[in-house]
Amino acid sequence: MARKKKQSQLEDIIGITAMLPWWVGVLLALVAYLVPHHYATAEVAAGVPGAKLGANVVGQIGKTLAMFGQYLLPFAYIVGAGLSVYGRQQRKALFTDVQTSSSVSALNDMNWQEFELLVGEAFRRKGYAVAENGGGGADGGVDLVLKKDGEKFLVQCKQWKARMVGVSIIRELYGVMAAEGAAGGFVVTSGIFSNDVKSFAEGRNVELIGGADLMALIKNIPLPQTSSITPQRKATNAVVFADPICPNCGSAMVKRKAKQGANAGNMFWGCNSYPKCRGVVAIN
């Protein structure tokens, strides 16, 4: 994994904000505008001789910085919020594509950044809170930090098409787990693990997830259900009501036409268990 290039502070702000929920970025942008704006619009006392001159100069410099800051920082936070929304959509798309794929090769058709996003999304849907380290940097062997039930878990991702994950990778992760007091760890790869890795992982609370295991995990996670609304609406927006249940026995009901009596010729709901059950519901 390549090391990150040195970034400006503004790029750091954007990158960190992109890892947060989008609404946090919007809130930070609002605060970052209101606070500098207060100082940018405040009156600075006219220069006076003596000791107060230096304070006036500092005040004017602060006012100038606030004038630029009231727009620059909110811009960075808004860009980060936008990237957060984009990243969320990208994670959903990656997860859906892999879940509907029939081959492990789907994991090899993405780059390592996408692979980390996919793994993070899988753990998120398993109920973990996921923090992404951003990848590409000196992350101490950790790409994702998971939290669940008050415990912390560390994840190292290796999207390798041909290489087998060796024992040095899991040793590195295990060392960081001990240093940070993590309850457990995961090493996730699109490939396979060497026998040395499997032996080292035994008894160390480190779970190994190979390509086939990752595919199985993803396919066993149910897709988010769309909100169930009764009555249901078709594309034409026509309201379709579900068939009623028999008030007498709880069986399904079917439409019938009265053949005799005062209601002859009218439709009604009759119990599907007729003549065992004679429950009826009028059709209004």
Residue recorded with tokens 């996919």:
118
Domain count, the chain: 3
In a domain, residue 146? The reply is yes
Q: Mark whether 96 and 124 lie in a shared domain.
A: no
Same domain, 132 and 174: yes
Length of the chain counted residue by residue: 284
| Same domain, residue pair 113 and 181 | yes
Say if residue 206 is in the same domain as residue 122.
Answer: yes
Number of DSSP helices (H) and strands (E) in the chain, helices first: 7, 10
Expressed as residue numbers, the domain containing 156 is 105-219
Question: Which of 73, 100, 127 is a domain's end point?
Answer: 100
One domain, residues 128 and 84:
no
Residue 224 lies in a domain: no
Q: Assess whether 14 and 89 both reside in one domain.
A: yes
Which residues sit opposite 267 in a β-bridge? 257
Instruction: Note whether residue 152 is domain-resident.
Output: yes
Q: Are residues 132 and 176 in the same domain?
A: yes
**3-class state of residue 168 by DSSP:** helix
Task: Give the angle 253-256-261 at the CA atoms, nearest 5°.
Answer: 125
Q: Does 71 lie in the same domain as 114?
A: no
Domain membership of residue 190 (yes or no) is: yes
In a domain, 136, yes or no: yes
In a domain, 2, yes or no: no
Rounded to whole angstroms, the Cα distance separating 122 from 220 reads 10
- Examine the domain organization and report whether 189 and 270 are in the same domain: no
Looking at the structure, tell me whether residues 113 and 199 fall in a common domain: yes
Provide the CATH number for the domain around residue 208.
3.40.1350.10
Same domain for 137 and 183?
A: yes
Residue 195 CA to residue 190 CA, distance in Å, equals 16
Residue finishing a domain among 51, 79, 100: 100
Provide the 8-state DSSP code for 107: G
- Is residue 1 in a domain? no
Q: Assess whether 78 and 122 both reside in one domain.
A: no
What SS3 string covers 112-128? HHHHHHHHHHHHHHCCC
Q: Give dist(CA 99, CA 91) in Å, integer.
A: 12
Q: Of 83, 100, 117, which closes a domain? A: 100
Two tokens at 23?
């609404």
Would you give per-residue pLDDT tens digits along the chain (284 residues)? 444 455 678 788 887 877 777 788 888 888 888 887 776 676 655 555 555 555 565 666 666 777 777 788 888 889 888 888 887 888 888 888 888 887 778 888 888 889 999 999 999 999 999 988 755 444 457 999 999 999 999 999 998 766 788 899 999 999 999 999 999 999 999 988 989 999 999 989 999 999 989 999 999 887 655 444 333 444 444 444 456 677 776 667 788 877 777 777 788 888 877 777 778 887 76
Q: Is 81 among the domain residues? A: yes
Q: Token pair for residue 174? A: 């295990």
Return the biggest CA–CA distance within the chain.
Answer: 110
Contact 264, 258 (CB under 8 A): yes
